[in-house]
Amino acid sequence: MAGNTYNTIIIGGGIAGLTSAAYLSRAGQKVLLIEKNKECGGLVNSFTRDGFHFDAGVRALEDAGIIFAMLKDLNIQLEVVKSPVSVGIENEILHIEGIESLIKYQELLIKLFPESEGEIVEVIRIIRKIMKHMDVLYGIENPVFKDLKRDRAFIFKKLLPWLPKFIFTVGKINRMNMPVEDYLKTIIKNPSLRDMISQHFFKNTPTFFALSYFSLYLDYFYPKGGVGKLSDALKNKILELGGEIKTEIKIVEVLADKCHVIDQNNTSYKYDNLIWAADLKTFYKITEAEVFMPKIKSKFKETKDKMLQNRGGDSVFSLFLEVDEPLDSFRKIANGHFFYTPSKSGLGETHRKKLDELLSNFEKVNKEQLMTWLDKFTKLNTYEISIPGLKDPELVPRGKTGMIISLLAEYDLFKKIHKAGWLDEFTSEMENHIINVISDSIYPGLKENIIIRFSFTPLNIENRVGSSEGAIVGWSFQKSMPVINKIQISDRSVLTPIPSIYQAGQWAYSPAGVPMSILTGKLAADKILIKIKKQHLRTR
């Protein structure tokens, strides 16, 4: 059954799809945004349970010169607060207040690893250099969100003086593409110290991206009411601008030659342009492009093969706790966004080589072996702990605290255990281990005060947002990246081999995250608007 024709249909109501839809609606396009879940937001989403507020995906937002520029450009008011970060290793806790905290971070590391003082000073010197590059990179509002025809002051006072610095910085960044694990080996001998700096990054994270973390800590902010408020604000803007949103509709087929998408009920929607703002492996699996010209057909096939060979990056295991303790007892210890490592020993090969061995031999591995591994994995890891109530006290019932404790987790482990039929048992054990580790270290007594606990595994992420391998920031960092990964050509990242189809979001550009998803959402909308303008000029 075919319905109306839309100028643009956008598949995926995550932050990228919402951005595209808002901009195209503002330009007066007939827009339809299709989202498979009941709520939009994807990995930028929040929910409430028993009066406790939790963030299901990203825990706080980094501006990166993009989010506030987008909000201003779309005239969206969003009440936000700073989201200060603490970093802790064993009993040493540092509350990051500004660039000067970098010296305190250096002192913290030297206290724990006095024999490596010289190496620590060198790493901090490099982090400081990277922070300077980050100041340039994010130093002005991203020009993509400015009206360059009208805003002359921006062009002459900000953009033109910034451009040479930007070009110089991009050159520097591109030279720091080596995986951070390998880069740190060239400076630091002690593997435990290397782990303290890098074990909470995704495997093979490019050095520049990883070592810019101190700048990102300073950039974090939190929308009042939860990160999901950003998605809500965009959704409301789309509706205000006349865009249409359909939720609980899953697209299961793309007939590219006919410009149709088909949903789970076999309803068909016709488009002039399509933006795919969801998992790209899914797109290439469900798209029919057989009848195009040979050049497009072969480019489509080549791209499809590349996409399907690649994997999504690391996933995450998140434990949600409703705790019968007031916020004050947590405030005394750390900020509401806290990166905590209970042991300075470091994970070593626990999360990589040891786990790979277990997984490649999974049929012969018994539960006891896996539990021994789990014990080490949870004791030696780095946790991202988020306490929404410390950022916005309205988000918890009075006298109580909600916590989200997460760590990077391997999708294949959960997949295999699920297949073997004991996922619930494993998940519950993992929850127990995490609670024990955290109660025995940084939050004593936590265990006794938990009212309710539940968790999301990589499989939940895969099911909820359709993300391949439960990935949370798109592609895994491998040698042959199937999408653009150079900032100076980021505008090309939204193109697909099919002229009427564009891509946006965390799968369209790497490295990704919320700001890049928003940026690609805007770039895809811009490409369509430019194309339409050219078509109008030609037909005049």
Q: Candidates 115-123, 300-308, 321-329, 512-520: pick the segment binding ligand FAD (CB under 6 A).
A: 512-520
Residue 312 found at the interface with ligand FAD (CB under 6 A)? no
Nearer to ligand FAD, 221 or 443 (CB): 221
Burial 30-62 (b: 16+ CB within 10 A, else e): bbbbbbbbebbbbbbbbeeeeebbbbbbbbbbb
Q: Binding to ligand FAD by residue 71, rule CB under 6 A?
A: no
CB 15 within 8 A of CB 228: no
Contact residues for 323 (Cβ-Cβ < 8 A; gap 6+): 400, 401, 402, 403, 446, 449, 450, 451
CB of 365 to ligand FAD, least distance (A): 27
Q: Which of 9, 43, 67, 280 binds ligand FAD (CB under 6 A)?
A: 43
Contact between 506 and ligand FAD per CB under 6 A: yes
Between the alpha carbon of residue 194 and those of residues 88, 346, 363, 472, the distances in Å are 15, 8, 33, 24
Q: Which CB, 115 or 248, lies closer to ligand FAD?
A: 248
CA distance 38 to 222: 23
Q: What angle do CA 437, 442, 447 make, to 5 degrees?
A: 55
Return d(Cα 192, Cα 211) in angstroms, integer.
17
Query: Which range, of 10-18, 86-94, 115-123, 200-208, touches ligand FAD by CB under 6 A?
Result: 10-18
Q: With binding defined as CB under 6 A, does residue 406 bind ligand FAD?
A: yes
Q: In the bound complex, what is the minimum distance in angstroms from residue 521's beta carbon to ligand FAD? A: 7
Question: Cis peptide leading into 84, omega within 30 of 0?
Answer: no
Please name which of 207, 234, 256 lies closest in space to residue 514, comparing C-alpha atoms.
Answer: 234
250 binds ligand FAD (CB under 6 A): yes
Q: Does 14 bind ligand FAD (CB under 6 A)?
A: yes
Specify whether the backbone of 445 is left (phi greater than 0), alpha (psi in -120 to 50) or beta: left
Tokens standing for residue 535 = 């078509």
Is 66 a binding residue for ligand FAD by CB under 6 A? The answer is: no
Q: Is 467 an interacting residue with respect to ligand FAD (CB under 6 A)?
A: yes
For the CB of residue 507, give the shortest distance to ligand FAD in the complex, in Å: 7
Question: According to the binding rule CB under 6 A, does residue 32 interact with ligand FAD?
Answer: no
Please say which residue, 106 or 467, places its beta carbon nearer to ligand FAD.
467
Q: From residue 192 to residue 221, what is the string marking binding to ligand FAD with x (rule CB under 6 A)? A: ------------------------------
Question: Closest-CB residue for ligand FAD?
Answer: 14
CB 77 within 8 A of CB 225: no
* Residue 336 is a binding residue for ligand FAD (CB under 6 A): no
382, 341 contact by CB (below 8 A): yes
Does 505 interact with ligand FAD (rule: CB under 6 A)? Answer: yes
Among the listed ranges 51-59, 95-103, 302-310, 490-498, the one in contact with ligand FAD (CB under 6 A) is 51-59
Q: Kind and range of the H or E element at 108?
A: helix 101-112
User: Cα torsion for 120, 122, 124, 129, to the nearest 10°?
Assistant: -170
Residue 38 vs 332, nearer CB to ligand FAD: 38
Q: Which residues bind ligand FAD (CB under 6 A)?
A: 11-17, 34-37, 42-44, 57-59, 62, 250-251, 277-279, 282, 316, 406, 465-467, 472-473, 505-506, 512-515, 517
